[in-house]
Amino acid sequence: MRSLQLALQGAADVLVVGLLFGAGLPVIYALAMRALVVGAEEAPDGSVRYSSLGRLLAGLLVAVILGGVVLGLVLIVASGFGKAVSFEHVLPTIVDKK
């Protein structure tokens, strides 16, 4: 029974990470593109003038995406060097595997 519980827990972990990196990042990107047009105005010549608020929101969301990509790369590289990434002190830290 314990092995079934561990298998389901592992499957749940994979599902959460898959949603976060697989579907979550594209959703955040879509939100960033939507935020970019907040308060945007169309100029008489047909060009679009984006507001400062829209640019700020879009920039913050793109920064979250880049952070997720960098974190994923750190996890892959750390495991390749026989290390692990610990979130014990909130910020990710590369430590020796136990």
What would the pLDDT profile of 10-50 be if each residue is shown by its tens digit?
888 888 887 777 788 899 999 999 999 988 898 889 898 99
Q: How many domains does the chain have?
A: 1
- Percent of the residues in the chain that have a pLDDT greater than 70, as a whole number: 100
Cα separation, 69 vs 88, in Å, equals 20
Kindly state the tokens that stand for 49: 């003038």
**pTM for the structure as a whole:** 0.72
Measured from the Cβ of residue 57, the count of other Cβ atoms closer than 10 Å reads 18
Residue 58 belongs to domain spanning: 2-96
The predicted model gives 65-87 an average pLDDT of 90
CB 26 within 8 A of CB 68: no
* Residue 53 confidence class, pLDDT cut points 50, 70, 90: very high
